[in-house]
Amino acid sequence: MVTNDEQCYKNADSYSDHGHDHIGNNRGMENHPIIGFNCRISELHAAVGAAQTRKVPQIREINRKYKKRMMEQLGQVPGVSFAHIPDPAGDSATFLNLLLPDTATAKKTVDLFNQNGIGGFNYRFINMYHFINQWDHLKNLKTAAPLPIHLLGAPQDYNNLHLPKSQEVVGRLISFGIRCSWKEEELEQLIGKIKASLEKALGVHAHA
C-alpha cells in the first residue's frame, strides 16, 4: 500500500495487526485505535513457518520438561496453583499459568517480578491486548470504516458487561511463556527468582 495520507497509513497499519498502534516496546501494552484483523502473514512468512514446523516435536519435548520442572518447584509455595489442563498429553507447554489466591496478591507479585528483573510473563488483567478491561476499541466499536453493527445497533452495551467470574480468575492469573532455548542454569535461576518473589508476596516459605 502506498499513500500520502498519514492517517490512512496508520489505519491500515493497525487494521492489519489486531488494531495495534505499534507505539512503544511492549506489544501487550500497546493501544488499539481501531478494531483490526490478523493480516500480517505473507507467503514468505508461511514458507518459513512450514519449514519451522519440523522443529515442533523437539520444541514440545523440551517445553514439557521445563514446564514440569517449574510446576514441581513453584508448586511447593503455599497459595500457588496452576491452570487445569484437561488433556495433559496434548499440552504444548507453551505457557505456564500461575494462579494466586486473589487479585491483590497477583498485583503484588507482578510488582516484585518487575523489581527483581523477572521477564517473560504477562499479567493479562491490566494487559491492553488480552482482556476486556482495556478493550476500549471493541467496547466503543472504533473502526476504520462503518460496519453493519453501527447501522443496526449492538445487541448489548459492551461498556457495561458484568463478568465477575472472568474478573476473578484473570485478576489472579500470571502467565509465563516457556522457551525451549533456555539453558539449564537459566531455568534454575529463573525458578529461584520466581519462587522468592512468590514467597515474599504471599508471606510464606516453600515446602521442602
Residues near 197 by beta carbon (within 8 Å), at least 6 away in sequence = 109, 112, 113, 116, 118
Position 114 in a domain:
yes
Same domain? For 33 and 114 the reply is: no
Same domain? For 194 and 115 the reply is: yes
Same domain? For 88 and 115 the reply is: yes
The segment with the largest mean pLDDT, out of 99-108, 125-134, 158-167, is 99-108
Same domain? For 30 and 80 the reply is: no
Provide the residue range defining the domain that includes 197.
55-202
Residue carrying the nine cell digits 504471599: 202
Same domain? For 35 and 60 the reply is: no
Same domain? For 103 and 192 the reply is: yes
Same domain? For 18 and 98 the reply is: no
Question: Which cell numbers hold the place of 97?
Answer: 499459568
Provide the domain count of the chain. 2
Position 22 in a domain:
yes
Residue 208: predicted pLDDT:
65
Question: Which cell numbers hold the place of 2?
Answer: 502506498
Give residue-wise pLDDT tens across range 128-164.
878 899 889 889 999 988 989 999 999 999 999 999 9
Position 50 in a domain:
no
Same domain? For 175 and 127 the reply is: yes
Question: Strand order of the sheet with strand 81-82?
Answer: 81-82, 95-99, 173-177, 121-122
- Beta-sheet pairing, 95-99 with 81-82: antiparallel
The answer to whether residue 201 scores a pLDDT higher than 90 is yes
Classify residue 191 by burial, with Cβ atoms within 10 Å: 0-12, 13-18, 19+: middle
Position 89 in a domain:
yes
